[in-house]
Homo-oligomer: A and B are copies of this chain.
Amino acid sequence: MDSIRPERKKSSADLSARRRRGDGRPTIADVAARAGVAAITVSRALSDPSLVSDTLRKTIEEAVQALGYVPNLSARTLASTRSSVVGVLIPSLSQTVFTDVLRGVYDGVDGSPLTVQIGNTRYDEAEEERLIKVFLREKPAGMIVSGIDQTPEARRMLENAGCPVIQIMDISDDPIDQIIGFSHYDGGRKVTEHLIEEGYRRIGFIAGWVSRRSSGRLDGYRAALAAAGLPQPSLEHSFSPGYMPKLADASETPAGRPVLEFATPRVGRELFRAAIAADPGLDAVFCNNDILALGVLFECQAQGIRVPEDMGIAGFNDHDYMESAFPSLSSGRTHRYRNGLDAVVAIRRRLGGAPVGEPVIDMGVEVMKRRSTDRSGNRRD
């Protein structure tokens, strides 16, 4: 017997009456009808063209073209076990350090079907754990997480995520899955060694807030001083967790969630004042990040302290303003954009079927030696 259901495809009257929900967009069924094949064949032609004969593929491609068909991601995700989302967890949106990473991530997914989803952990491991849970529900195509300080539970979830998990912006012997980043310890050590080589002896350390991540830098600084026989704990200056810096515009604080901004030039100026008050013999400072270094430079200018003669200044990350300052500011250069880009590239490779590759990739930190630390008088930029 003929189908009990009335024929649907031919009559345009039917066509208009036929849809009850959904918008007018063409579906895979429309493409299939036009190409004279089954929907599944269209699906295959789209996801893995090698599964379909050349002739059919051609016809299907033409039908897709003609109809302007675009797959519905929700339907695809619902029906399959994987989505096309790459989840990216970063601790802050206000630091350009991480927005540089994001630029790399976005450039990395460009031209692929992948979609980026960002989670802001606000330097809170519990919030990170919560976000991981939320992201993993969507069965992401891949995850990118910042640093190595995940909670044990977060780590466990990521290990069982069933997708590539790339840790970035730090380094470890024991990655969850794969880690691409650099050693904060090495960075802090190298910058401090540079200061020592230039002849500085009472080298202070300034940080707005020593997170676990930056504590690697602090440890590297301590190690370099210790190796040179110059340990000096009293030279370490950072705000206690209780300190609440003012915002440029207090109204910019969302209700109930203060924006803690520990990395501003103002904080740099204040910490530097505290540092020289505590030790007038201070002759250099290693700043935990560039923006603090900029503040220190301004404070030196305000107080008539000569840089680099009376005071050496070095930062960390090497943002573009460092080389343009007067005098130009030394810094430990990190490869943030590249880090984000490479993380996505690794994910794409693995989604493409490639094996995991090197589980640990250290991109290194390069000391940019500029005028602000040129006590030996070798440079002139």
Chain A residues proximal to chain B, CB less than 8 Å: 21, 23, 25, 70, 72-75, 77-78, 81, 83, 93-94, 96, 99-100, 102-104, 106-108, 110, 115-118, 120, 137-139, 248-249, 251-252, 254, 257, 259, 261, 264-266, 268-269, 291, 294-295, 298-299, 301-302, 318-321, 323-326, 333, 335, 337-338, 341
Contacts and interface: CB of A to CB of B under 8 A. Distances in A.
A271 to B, nearest CB: 12
Contacts of A323: 248, 266
Contacts of A325: 265, 298
A75 B73 contact: no
B70 A137 contact: yes
Question: Which 6 residue pairs of A and B lie closest in terms of their CB atoms, listed nearest first?
Answer: A265-B324, A74-B77, A298-B326, A301-B326, A74-B78, A74-B74
27 contacts: A23-B139, A74-B75, A75-B78, A93-B99, A93-B103, A93-B106, A96-B99, A103-B259, A104-B254, A106-B118, A107-B257, A108-B254, A110-B254, A110-B257, A115-B117, A248-B320, A249-B337, A252-B337, A264-B324, A266-B323, A266-B324, A268-B324, A295-B321, A298-B324, A298-B326, A301-B301, A301-B326
Contacts of A116: 118
Contacts of A93: 99, 102-103, 106
B78 A335 contact: no
